[in-house]
Structure 1
Amino acid sequence: MKIAPGCALFLSGCAGTQSVLNADGPSALALQNLIFLFFAVCGIVFVLVMGVMTWALVRERHAPAGQPPIERSMGRIVSGAVVATFVVITFLTAASFYATPSLDRGKADPPTILVRGQQWWWQFTYLDPDPAKTFQTANELHIPVGTDVRLRLEASDVIHSFWVPNLAGKQDLVPGRENGLTLHASKAGVYRGQCAEFCGLQHSHMALLVVAEKPEDYARWLNAQSGPAAVPAESEAAAGKLVFMRKPCAACHTIRGTEAAGTTGPDLTHVGSRSMIGAGLMENTRGSIAAWIADPQTLKPGNNMPLVPVTSEELRQLSAYMSGLK
């Protein structure tokens, strides 16, 4: 599935829906139904309370002067309200517990993806029994439609929270502990997610995309992503590869098929195929890549990428190389 060109995640109407009221997965549907149930019950309670209050005010206004209050009747009304409150709260609590198991549904051995929250980006490791087929990507999660996908959630630094409202509820990523979550997309689409736990300065710039695609398209994507980086065909991109290897870039990033094997930053083997950079900060274009390389701290203050001095010519070469890694 191709994501609509020219669409930035922060612009409304573009690819990447994000709404708990537009469920496209069984877990999200259970939560949506629970929301509607709470809304309906609370709405009925509100109407009843307003009705009783209105009746009491009207009755008090038209009561004969000097008539003593009917304490017995008032006592029954208050007792009934207490009982009704208990019943409503018990019912809503039971409904919440009933919906909880659907959030962790799944088959015994679904496809598994390791999700690791970083400050401030998402690392996805597609696990395979064959280590040669295991690979990493960042900020863009691809899953097959109609299949349970098991996520293993970990955090490297602080507590994060993985949340894709259209597909599932929130689940925390806690350092030193592994949590789990099952994603299931009922139809193809692009769904926006984000970190839902305040995790530092750039918490609001820690978005992700979930791309749900047909199984055959997903298989092709897996095959392409598990392969090494493309060899640059143009001279400018080839020169950019040499710059990348000479600079500190190769010490922090991995590009499979080259000598770059850093693990501090995102895997850049196929970075040109992603729709965004900076975890939703900017659309992935050559210009955006150049701007990020030139001054990452101005664009996303506090992120862990240092400023790497490059000349204007080297910047053009690096951006050509990065944008060609598809």
Structure 2
Amino acid sequence: MSPPTALTLLGAELEISGYTGSQSALHPEGLSASVLNDLILIMVGVCTAVWLLVIGFLFLSLLWRERPVGDAGSERRIGGIVMIASTATVLVIAVLTAMSFLAEWRLPSASEEAPTIRVQGEQWWWRFTYEDPKSGSSFEAANELHLPVGRDVRLQLQSPDVIHSFWVPSLAGKKDLIPGRTNYLTIHADRPGVYRGQCAEFCGLQHGHMALLVVAENQADYERWFEAQKLDRRPPQDAVSAKGETVFQSKPCAACHTIRGTAASGKSGPDLTHFGSRAAIAADILPNTRGSAAAWIADPQTLKPGNNMPVVPLSSDELQQVSAYLTELK
């Protein structure tokens, strides 16, 4: 068990106990993951038993190697062994196939009335769109998916370019995001915690750096987070951040990113309205600190070669101002 994780929410520290970035199908924390974990253990057990039988028969064959080739009893035993092995192989494959289908039927399927979050795989990060059923409005977040504990959540999976695969091992199985097609995945967290996920389908140069964090919260904490995320950006708190906002809007940054409450309304990059409240940046390759933000802005291609963020020329003062501004967006 890892120590609690602290995430910043509305300027305060929110303590979330549980696995810190757990990414293991053998530590299920949801119904889907538990069903798949049972199937994994059964298959491992069956394969282990088959391996032991094969090794056992190999050992017996070494003991029988001195038998005369034409010995009738030996030939009958070998024929019987082959028949038993063939029958057992067919039965084992049939049973495992049937169990696989049964496991799929046991996987939960959220109703259309369940909370739905649109998940879009980008190169190489995750775009999450949350709908507010009360007002009909929506907001976006990046690389950090928040869920209410104890409820089925319906993920609507899409991709604009290449095939990705959404996978949070501790909570659910894999599901592909295919261009031109919408897939659905039900995800459910049994208890609060922070769980790590990733793209499980090779999607390009930075496939290995396309991770995400899933933050499962109690209903009250989730609702508090949800309401906070609907708000426009927090105004700059000091002169340095105020200058950072001016620099941000005067540079190409505003053409690619949205910061609600400002003129920045770009859609090709992540929404940065609440950038400072996220635990990590660049799809979980760096902790979200002012230093990390400055390093990423200064040279994103060195940290994540091939990503779509260009190098924006900034002076050292401008870099400090923009990084201060972004990390205060909570």
**Is TM more than 0.5 here?**
yes
- Indicate yes or no: 2:44 matched with 1:42: no
Give the equivalent residue in structure 2 for 1:100. Answer: 104
Give the equivalent residue in structure 2 for 1:228. Answer: 232
Give the equivalent residue in structure 1 for 2:5. Answer: 3
Answer whether contact 2:147 2:216 (CA < 8 A) is retained: yes
Give the equivalent residue in structure 1 for 2:56. Answer: 51
How big is the alpha-carbon RMSD for the aligned residues of Structure 1 and Structure 2? Answer: 1.8
CA displacement at 1:259 relative to structure 2: 1.2
CA displacement at 1:66 relative to structure 2: 7.7
Range that drifts further, 271-280 or 95-104: 95-104
Residues in 1 aligned to 2:84 and 2:151: alpha-carbon distance in whole angstroms: 48
Q: Per the alignment, do residues 220 and 239 of structure 1 end up closer, same or farther by CA in structure 2, a change over 3 Å counting?
A: same
The residue type paired with residue 37 of structure 1 is I
The residue type paired with residue 91 of structure 1 is V
Q: Per the alignment, do residues 14 and 237 of structure 1 end up closer, same or farther by CA in structure 2, a change over 3 Å counting?
A: farther
Q: Provide, for residues 208-238 of structure 1, a one-character-per-residue CA deviation record: whole Å limited to 9, x for no partner.
A: 0000011100000001011110001201001
Give the equivalent residue in structure 1 for 2:154. Answer: 150
Give the equivalent residue in structure 1 for 2:257. Answer: 253
- Indicate yes or no: 2:275 matched with 1:271: yes
Residues in 1 aligned to 2:99 and 2:260: alpha-carbon distance in whole angstroms: 49
Residues in 1 aligned to 2:130 and 2:228: alpha-carbon distance in whole angstroms: 13
CA displacement at 1:65 relative to structure 2: 9.5
Equivalent runs, 1:84-163 vs 2, <5 Å = 84-130=88-134, 133-163=137-167
Within the candidate set 216, 220, 233, 1:216 is matched to: 220
Q: Provide, for residues 28-72 of structure 1, a one-character-per-residue CA deviation record: whole Å limited to 9, x for no partner.
A: 1111000100011111112222222222321334x4798456323
Answer whether contact 1:103 1:181 (CA < 8 A) is retained: no
Q: Provide, for residues 132-162 of structure 1, a one-character-per-residue CA deviation record: whole Å limited to 9, x for no partner.
A: 6410000000001000000000001110000
The residue type paired with residue 225 of structure 2 is W
Give the equivalent residue in structure 1 for 2:37. Answer: 32
> Match of 1:83, SS?
helix
Residues in 2 aligned to 1:136 and 1:279: alpha-carbon distance in whole angstroms: 15
CA displacement at 1:296 relative to structure 2: 1.0
Q: Provide, for residues 286-318 of structure 1, a one-character-per-residue CA deviation record: whole Å limited to 9, x for no partner.
A: 011111111111111111111111111111110
> Match of 2:294, SS?
helix
Identity %: 57
Answer whether contact 2:31 2:108 (CA < 8 A) is retained: no
Give the equivalent residue in structure 2 for 1:72. Answer: 76
Q: Provide, for residues 146-182 of structure 1, a one-character-per-residue CA deviation record: whole Å limited to 9, x for no partner.
A: 0000000000111000000000010000111000101
Give the equivalent residue in structure 2 for 1:8. Answer: none
The residue type paired with residue 174 of structure 1 is I
Runs of 5+ consecutive residues of structure 1 not aligned to the other structure: 6-12
TM-score by length of 1: 0.93
Runs of 5+ consecutive residues of structure 2 not aligned to the other structure: 8-17
CA displacement at 1:21 relative to structure 2: 0.3
Answer whether contact 2:163 2:176 (CA < 8 A) is retained: yes
Q: Per the alignment, do residues 228 and 318 of structure 1 end up closer, same or farther by CA in structure 2, a change over 3 Å counting?
A: same
Give the equivalent residue in structure 2 for 1:184. Answer: 188
> Match of 2:235, SS?
coil
TM-score by length of 2: 0.92
- How many correspondences in the alignment? 317
Q: Per the alignment, do residues 14 and 308 of structure 1 end up closer, same or farther by CA in structure 2, a change over 3 Å counting?
A: farther
Range that drifts further, 213-222 or 40-49: 40-49
